[in-house]
Amino acid sequence: MIIITDAHISKATGNYAVFFKMLESLERNSQDLIFLGDIFELWIALPRYEEKIHRDFIAWCRRQKSHRTIGYMEGNHEYYLANERASDFTWCSMNAWRRDATGALFVHGDRINRKDKNYLAFRKLAKNKVSKFIICRLPFGPKITISLKQGLKKTNTKFRLRLPKAEVEAFAQARFAEDVNVIFMGHFHQQYLYRNRDAKELHVLPDWFSTQKVTIYRRNSKEIKHIHWEDVGT
């Protein structure tokens, strides 16, 4: 399978062009594809808030999911996706993590640091049903995106920039104790590997935004590698 995380694509930065070029090249293989969150710099999955880049991405996923698995973990820059867009993917989850039948676990990572109380409170508020109801009906709709972005900036700058290794390891150990074999985490924009005494591994994946790397995980051989998307092949 191929895992892609933290692309933070937006119209403003223009990085969507390379991203869609990558999607086109990934059509040559049929491996499972998992988007691990924050694929967009901002995605509010409500009619007035979606832009062409979101709609183009959805169209691509709908076409691809007819012959391969397309999974999506909602990140902290993405809102209401799991409610509004679930049918456009093979699966879409807003849970803190998702575990598959083989014991692989996928987690965006923004809820790992329990000390980041401001962020967790902001998250709860921004992602709940009441907020969605209000945002849906605001007369000046899309302007809310400005305050959402400011909210994200204010709440987690201090925590986002450093990898909370103790919390990441505690999370890994708790999941490994529940028979999880391998963990893939995004969010921190920093590649990192934690391996416990039983050689079980948690991988924090490189962010696509600054590296254009994707992660290849071969279930049979357990091989894991992070490579540039142009080197993926078939």
Residues that bind Mn ion in the complex, under the rule CB under 5 A: 38, 75-76, 110, 187
CB of 116 to Mn ion, least distance (A): 12
CB of 73 to Mn ion, least distance (A): 10
User: Of 64 and 214, which CB lies nearer to Mn ion in the complex structure?
Assistant: 214
Q: Which residue is nearest to Mn ion (CB)?
A: 187
Long-range contacts from 213-218, C-beta under 8 angstroms, 24+ separation: 214/2, 214/3, 214/4, 214/22, 215/2, 215/3, 215/4, 215/5, 215/184, 216/1, 216/2, 216/3, 216/31, 217/1, 217/2, 217/3, 217/104, 217/182, 217/184
Rounded Cα distance, 90 and 198, in Å? 32
CB of 102 to Mn ion, least distance (A): 25
User: Of 104 and 204, which CB lies nearer to Mn ion in the complex structure?
Assistant: 204
User: Of 54 and 108, which CB lies nearer to Mn ion in the complex structure?
Assistant: 108
CB of 28 to Mn ion, least distance (A): 29
User: Of 38 and 88, which CB lies nearer to Mn ion in the complex structure?
Assistant: 38
**Considering only CA atoms, which of 85, 87, 111, 114 is closest in space to residue 97?**
111
